Amino acid sequence: MNICIIGLGLIGGSFALALRKYALTDRLYGVDASPRNAAKALELGLVDELIEWDRVAEAADIIVLATPVDVIPQLAIKLLNRIDDSRIVFDMGSTKEELCEIISQHPRRHRFVAAHPMWGTEHSGPEAAVEDAFVGCNTVLCDVEQSDADAVSAVERIFTTIGMKIMYMSPAQHDTHAAYVSHISHITSFILATTVLEKERESATILNLAGGGFESTVRLAKSSPDMWIPILMQNKYNVLDVLREYIHQLEIFRKALERDNRAEIRQTIERANEIRKVLDKK
C-alpha cells in the first residue's frame, strides 16, 4: 500500500514517522507547497519520494491531507475529482464543519474520511516531527456514515495501529468541543504573552522572573500563525461563544478581587480545581 501525505509540517511529518515505525506503507510519498519544507522532509527521511500534485491520485492508495485547514476543502474537492473508488482520502485538520459541508454533495464523498488526531505542539515544520507523537491520544472521526465502510475501516486501522483511540462525532459537535479544549487554550496563551510583552518591555526581566507556571501557560504562544489563523477563522462562531464565556468569568474574578471578596475567589479556585477529576479520567 502506498500513502501520500500532503503537508509535511509538524502533523504530517509526525504521522510519516508513525507510518514508518509500524510499517503501514510500502512507499511513502510527500507533497508540500513550501519547497523548503519538502526538501527538508526528504532530507530527514520522512518520505521516500517527493511527487508532483498531478501524480498523487495515481501513485497513492491513501492520500492524507495535513495542510492548514483553510486549504483542505479545496484540496479535498480536487482529489475527489481525480481519484477512483479504489483510493481513500482523509484529512487531519482541526476543524470539520466547513469541510464536511463543502464536500457533502460530491459524487465521491464516500471515499473521504473526515478525521482529526487530537495532538500537536507549539512547533512547526518537518524538523519538528515527533516520533510516537500520537500514542495514547484520541482521533475524532466525523460523519462516518457518509464514508464507505472499507474507507472508514482502513483509516481506523491506521490510527489504532499507531496507538490512538477512536471517537465519533458530528462535525458540529467536534468544532464546538475543539473550541473549548484546544482553541481557547491557544487564544489564552497568545493574549497572556502579548499582555506580558506590553507591560514588560525589557525581555531580560521576563526571562529572569519566568517560572514553570508562566512558561507552561505561554508555551502555546509560540504556535504558528499560519496554522492558527485559519483554524480560528473557520471555527469563528464557536470560538466567539467560548470567548464570551471566558471574558465573563474573567470579569467575575476581577470584580471579586476589587471587592476583596476572599470567599468568592476561593470558590472560583476550588471550582477550577475540579478540572483534575476530568483530566484524571483520560
Q: Is a pLDDT exceeding 70 seen at residue 205? A: no
pLDDT of amino acid 217: 76
Q: Which CATH number fits domain 174-279: 3.40.50.720, 3.90.550.10, 3.40.640.10, 1.10.3660.10?
A: 1.10.3660.10
Residue count of the chain, please give it.
Answer: 282
Write the DSSP symbol of residue 70.
T
Alpha-carbon distance of 21 to 208, in angstroms, equals 41
How is residue 120 annotated by DSSP? -
pLDDT value of residue 86: 96
Q: Give the Cα separation of 177 and 124 in Å (integer).
A: 24
Looking at residue 66, what is its pLDDT?
Answer: 97
CA–CA distance from 20 to each of 47, 124, 125, 134, 219 (Å)? 9, 20, 18, 13, 29
Average pLDDT for 230-247: 95
The confidence band for 197, taking pLDDT boundaries of 50, 70 and 90, is confident
Q: Is 192 exposed, middle or buried (0-12, 13-18, 19+ CB in 10 A)?
A: middle
pLDDT at 218 over 70: yes
**258 phi, psi to nearest 5 deg:** -60, -35
Quote the crossing angle between the two packed helices 236-258 and 225-234, to the nearest 10°. 100
In the Cβ-directed half-sphere of 145, how many Cα atoms lie within 13 Å? Answer: 3
Place of cell 479544549: 181
Q: What pLDDT band is residue 208 in, cutting at 50, 70 and 90?
A: low
Going by C-beta distance under 8 Å and a sequence separation of 6 or more, which residues neighbour residue 195? none
Task: Pinpoint the residues of the chain covered by CATH 1.10.3660.10.
Answer: 174-279
What CATH number was assigned to the domain covering residues 2-169? 3.40.50.720
In order of 48, 189, 214, 266, 270, the CA distances from 263 in angstroms are 61, 27, 25, 5, 10
Percent of the chain with pLDDT over 70: 94
DSSP state of 48: S
**Residue 150 confidence (pLDDT):** 98
Confidence at residue 282, expressed as pLDDT on a 0 to 100 scale = 59
CA distance 210 to 76: 44
pLDDT tens-place string over residues 53-107: 999 999 999 999 999 999 999 999 999 999 999 999 999 999 999 999 999 999 9
Q: Which three cell numbers stand for residue 59?
A: 501513485
Helix spans in the chain (H): 10-21, 35-43, 56-59, 72-82, 97-103, 149-161, 171-178, 184-199, 203-209, 212-218, 225-234, 236-258, 262-273, 275-279
Map grid coordinates 509535511 to a residue: 8
Cβ atoms of residues 51 and 43 within 8 Å: no
Residues 6+ apart with CB under 8 A from 187: 232, 239, 243
**Does the structure show a pLDDT above 80 at 187?**
yes
For the segment 108-128, the average pLDDT, to the nearest whole number, is: 95
